[in-house]
Amino acid sequence: MNLSLEYLIREPKIKKDFNPLLLLLHGYGSNEADLFSFASELPEEYYVIAARAPYDLQYGSYAWYAINFDADENKFSDYEQAKVSRDLIGTFIDELIENYPINPKNINLLGFSQGAILSYGVALSNPSKIKNVIGLSGYVSEPILKEGFENNDFSDLGIFASHGTVDQVIPIDWARKSDAFLTQKGIVHTYKEYPIGHGISPQVFFDFKNWLQEHS
């Protein structure tokens, strides 16, 4: 089956006519096996699918978009690549719905770091397509949102956002700004901080899993 992105899949243990999807989007420099490592712990009624980002960084590392540095070591994101990935994820979701008995009204994204940034990009640009977002150690990047996104109806979109207070990769302030941004846009969401760095602790996992079960 040739789809737009490479992926790993855990079929639902509880089969229905149409099952919900939990799509896992990994961070910069990682691959689809990373988040898929805890697929067996995720709710049994979901298709759990981990996608591989399209840009190959070599040695089993991939990215949703390039991050470049100038001579002063200032960091720049390639927003055009990010937009391509945003749309590619949307296409990939359509392909999964065509090829598996997935409920198109129950599409959930779980992203870590750059994968969380893309999860927000997909959901805020097209909220009618996404039911829930679990954004771990990421933030909302406005330049990768579709033009006119603020006119979308976010009333059915659920968001769980978490961040480490000592995150050395993405500053906690960026996550707090995203929390304020979502509030300002009237988007109902849960935002939590944890005394960790750039990672997923057992407490984060426990909290987002509970949240997902409450919002399934």
Kindly report, residue by residue over 155-182, the tens digit of the pLDDT: 999 999 999 999 999 999 999 999 999 9
Q: How many CB atoms lie within 10 A of CB 52?
A: 19
The structural domain count of the chain equals: 1
Nearest of 33, 45, 208 to residue 137 by alpha carbon: 208
9 beta partners? 49
Longest Cα separation, the chain: 55
User: Domain for residue 65, yes or no?
Assistant: yes
Specify whether the CB–CB gap between 145 and 124 falls below 8 A.
Answer: yes
Query: Cα angle at 92 between 89 and 95, to 5 degrees?
Result: 160
User: Domain for residue 110, yes or no?
Assistant: yes
Query: Domain of 86: which CATH number?
Result: 3.40.50.1820
User: Domain for residue 2, yes or no?
Assistant: no
* Better pLDDT: 76 or 84: 84
pTM comes to 0.95
Q: How much is the pLDDT for 74?
A: 65
133 beta partners? 109, 159
Provide the residue range defining the domain that includes 206: 7-214
- What is each CA distance from 88 to 10, 52, 81, 119, in whole angstroms? 21, 11, 10, 12
User: Where residue 75 falls among pLDDT bands split at 50, 70, 90?
Assistant: low
Mean pLDDT of 203-216: 95
What is the C-alpha separation between 53 and 31, in angstroms, rounded?
Answer: 7
User: Domain for residue 131, yes or no?
Assistant: yes
User: Domain for residue 1, yes or no?
Assistant: no
Q: Which two tokens stand for residue 176?
A: 């707090």
First to last CA, the chain: 28
What is the C-alpha separation between 162 and 176, in angstroms, rounded?
Answer: 10
Nearest of 35, 211, 46, 2 to residue 116 by alpha carbon: 35
Average pLDDT, the chain: 95
